[in-house]
Amino acid sequence: MSNVSDTSTLSIDSSHPCLAGPFPGHPIVPGVLLLDRVLARAESCVGQRLNVTSLPVAKFTRPLLPGEVAVLQLEVHETEIKFDISKDNARIAQGSFKIDRGS
């Protein structure tokens, strides 16, 4: 399979259920939700489910607030997904998943 590069936007609505608990009155989008969106976008780009084998790098440098629009840049390679999430040219998160595309 060939490598895929993609740039898209992502935004988490303030009504998302995972925002209810962690920071009452001042919710931020949890990193695990951002990782879930990265993986979902990668799967959409390659048209198949991807099996994550590890997450060797994940760095979160700024919060994303509900309703804010961020830019997701990703590269899907045979055994890796590299991602970068930013808002207003400031990095929010970056990292990589190790994957097994299967046969």
pTM, 2 dp: 0.90
Look up residue 72 and give its two tokens.
């997701």
Strand 51-60 and strand 80-87: the pairing is unpaired
Task: Please state the CATH superfamily assignment of the domain spanning residues 4-100 in this structure.
Answer: Hotdog Thioesterase (3.10.129.10)
| Domains of the chain, residue spans | 4-100
Residue for token digits 């994303």?
Answer: 64
- Is pLDDT of 59 > 90? yes
For tokens 């998160």, the residue is: 93
Closest CA to 90 of 54, 58, 51, 60: 60
- Mean pLDDT rounded to a whole number for the chain: 91
pLDDT of residue 22: 62
